[in-house]
A = this chain, B = another copy of it.
Amino acid sequence: MRKLRMGMIGGGPGAFIGAVHRAAAAMDGMIELVCGSFSSQPEKSKKMGEELKLSPERIYGSYEEMIHKEAALPADVRMDFVSIVTPNHVHFGPAKTTLEAGFDVVMDKPMTFDLFEAKELKAIVEKTGRYLCLTHTYSGYPMIKEAREQVKKGALGKIRKVFVTYPQGWLSDFLETSDNKQASWRTDPSRSGIAGAMGDIGTHAFNLAEYVSGLQVKSLCAHINIVVKGRKLDDDGAVFLQFNNGATGLLVASQVLAGEENTLTIKVYGEKGGMEWSHADANSLLLKWPDQPMQVLRAGTGYLGDFAKHNTRTPAGHPEGFLEAFANHYRNFALCVGAKKDGISPKEEWLDFPNAYDGVRGMAFIENVIASGKSEQKWTQFTV
């Protein structure tokens, strides 16, 4: 497999997640950034492209231009796939255009602006036969892979409870009128969609809960709040969950927990034992047993399963972090895209990145959770 050529949409000056995507893509030497449309303002796009040392002719003023011109380049020059890192309301358009032009796609979450777009995008993915990788970072962590494998092989017995908590504090104050670019669009319904915290981080938590447990939420009861006065979208919430196997659970997502950073945590309990992973100690996975000592499984060790091992670069005690988790999605996506080009079958471990199915689930979560938040009835069926 040769090095893949990446184009980027979004990620201009001041964007947080664009730089993360670029570092993650670069880390394993499998992907090279060759072109980009970094901003809807051509001047800004040009500035960013230059900073990234791209050839001037491959810095584009709009994503449509990029896709059009790249598609016209010779096969051994043109980009192989596109990374979309724009705000939510500019997800669907670029993704659709990219896929239909014959390119694979990596894109940031949540997948689209609303559920309708999500289902349509999933249909386009299926029709075009392209890969779509949705960067739900946390399922890229090796110990989350291990957590999923432990559940799958039945180590905990039948799952009874799933707790997932995503606390942040950065929106404790009213930053909407500050020059904080992140705060500005993430709290704006016209760019974020109908949800604030539930869309921004609740979807991560939801994805993690379903990914690790292997279960599907079938109904929920949400308590959704706008804590900071003047804010237009939810900045705090908690949700009771019911899963398709009879298990129940809880999801908490808040961006107004002053002093909290980003400590996403998941705990899963079955008939035989419990499991805990926290982003604060991302290279460990705790297994808890009623009648035996708790075990601390560690990334980089020999006793882990295939998925954890495949998604680790360094030996135990050499911590990998957020960028590496992100890079795991890029690497797996690249392995699949490369395999397709090379005409070989992807391994199961390579296919293990969030995709359009997860994207639709996430958008459905947003719609259901906001609906439930407004309802006076306790339970809302989870519909897609």
- Interfacial residues, chain A to chain B (CB-CB below 8 A): 2-3, 16, 19-20, 22-23, 26-29, 33, 52-53, 156-157, 160-161, 163, 168-170, 172-173, 221, 223, 225, 227, 236, 238, 240, 248, 250, 252, 254, 256-263, 267, 269-274, 279-283, 287-298, 300-303, 313-324, 375-379
- In the complex, 16 of the A-B residue pairs with CB atoms within 8 angstroms, ordered by the A residue number, are A20-B314, A23-B28, A23-B29, A23-B313, A29-B33, A161-B256, A236-B248, A256-B269, A258-B290, A259-B289, A280-B317, A282-B319, A293-B301, A295-B296, A314-B321, A320-B321
Which residues of the other chain, B, contact A29 by a CB distance below 8 angstroms? 22-23, 26, 33, 52-53
Residue of B nearest to A3 (CB): B53
Min CB gap A159→B, angstroms:
11
Neighbour of A258 across the interface among B272, B314, B318, CB < 8 A:
B272
Kindly list chain B residues whose C-beta atoms are within 8 Å of the C-beta of A321: 283, 314, 318-321, 324
| 12 further A-B pairs in the complex, CB-CB below 8 A; given A320-B321, A375-B378, A378-B378 | A16-B315, A170-B290, A258-B288, A259-B287, A259-B290, A262-B317, A279-B317, A279-B319, A281-B281, A292-B303, A293-B295, A295-B295
* Inter-subunit contact B287/A293 (CB<8 Å): yes
Q: Which residues of B contact A296 (CB under 8 A)?
A: 293-296
| A261 contact set on B, CB distance < 8 A | 298, 300, 315-317
Determine the main DSSP class of A at the interface with B: loop
Are B238 and A257 touching (Cβ within 8 A)?
no
Residues of B within 8 A of A379 (CB): 376
Which chain B residues border A257 with CB–CB below 8 Å? 161, 267, 269, 274
CA distance A349 to B351 in the complex (A): 41
Q: Smallest distance from the beta carbon of A124 to chain B beta carbons, Å?
A: 31
Residue in B280, B291, B295, B377 whose beta carbon sits within 8 Å of that of A303 in the complex: B291
User: Is there contact, CB below 8 Å, between B319 and A319?
Assistant: yes
A293 and B288 in contact, given A20-B314, A258-B272 (Cβ under 8 angstroms): no
* Cα A374 to Cα B170 with chains together (Å): 37
A137 CB to closest chain B CB, in angstroms?
Answer: 9
Given the interface pairs A23-B27, A28-B23, the reply to whether A269 lies near B259 with Cβ below 8 Å is yes
A318-B321, A322-B318 known; A271 and B294 CB under 8 Å? no
**With A23-B27, A26-B27 as contacts: A258 and B274 at CB distance below 8 Å:** yes
